[in-house]
Structure 1
């Protein structure tokens, strides 16, 4: 590979790694003059890469989107990460993505060095994905992409939303973060009409539309914690708080992040918060960690644990 070709590829990698580069920064990173940078930019344009240039404060070189998708330049770690993600996406929770992911994976696999293919295969062979088998929870790709772009650009969104009871309401939203549990996708957003934060399931959203106007970001809650709390407690009639005589790490092996919120209570104890509509149905689930525990609240769950325990004692006698 010639020195010029190598430098052009290095320039492409830099442009793909950051939104805007000044000419001086690129020249410094590449060890060349500004004139050489301008020549290499023209070479990239000739190859089909839309490199935009702007002057003034905040200006510089920026890799834009073109009519066609030119080849991406990936380092080994990026190539392995992309291949693994494509394998997961082939059986994932976004409608219509499986076939496209397989096509993209086949193209990537064709040009990937054998040592990297071996790494991808090792990760794939060591991984098993549990699927829910509920096709009605699939998210439309257009919905996902619209919300992802609106989140990035701080753009207002309007959508219809179907709640658990089947009622549909119109929402005016400020999107902040997409969160996935693997099985479902959620959006952390600020609901302008309700003047409060919400976590909404993407598969229940309809007529999602970016409005073209932007908002000034607010101080947002931690997306992962907010969504975890919303899906483990908020939808249920009874919310239990239980102290376990074991570390957070040990107890977390028995519960998924989508079913319980776990907080450390010292080095050798933790508190689990989880919800259910049937207190008695929670009891066997609460016993899963196999360690001493105490139900702190509510009274209905405390009573259910007592009733089930007495029933087991009678069975043992």
Structure 2
């Protein structure tokens, strides 16, 4: 349990912190693009608090959906990209098997979920149940992710352009901070790639120290923006025929091992697995693959 994790959107939603501002939400989105998980202990504590408060499934689902609206982690970019429910369920199960999650969730072909006992405890599974010490709030938060995935997949299938193309700049616009220094720096990184920070400052008409100071005031650093942008750009390229090594060097990673560690830390999955899962939805006319 000590080193187990939970997905950040569920933890942040259930904690329900007061005082979130558009800029702090943007800073959170940037941070969690790089590290998409928070300690399982926070997930459990927040779920317990929600249970004590009597927060029902609908309340928690709305809170989770609010945080998912600004989620740009490579994991969520993958899970929100499919047009067939069978594909997203396979991907979600693969994520659960790959990431060091405190509670494992397995979803069947009809979206029927089992939340299994904690991996480190070796607990037994139960239909829509939780581990012995996990409160109902945790169950509601986790199942909200499942329902959000299925709803997004149905919208993708009905939308002429398919899945929404989410990025740092689209989230900045959604939150109304696109004209801030953080929003403008994010746009440079996304447009130009993994530039030296001094060049980004120059393109914005200021010195590097000024840029760093203004970003710190927003709860960010230029390096965080660069890392988040690099991961998002690399995520988009995983569907291309380029080799993983080519993508790693092109997007500013020192080598493939560096990119693999970054993706594993961010999403709980290596880029090779994300690429394999992305290809599930490459042919929308193909028969849905079997659920694993």
TM over 0.5: no
Q: Which structure has the larger Rg?
A: 1
Going by fraction, where is strand more abundant, 1 or 2? 1
- TM-score bucket (shorter structure): under 0.3
Q: Answer 1 or 2: higher relative contact order, Cα 8 Å, separation at least 6.
A: 2
TM-score, length-scaled by structure 1: 0.20
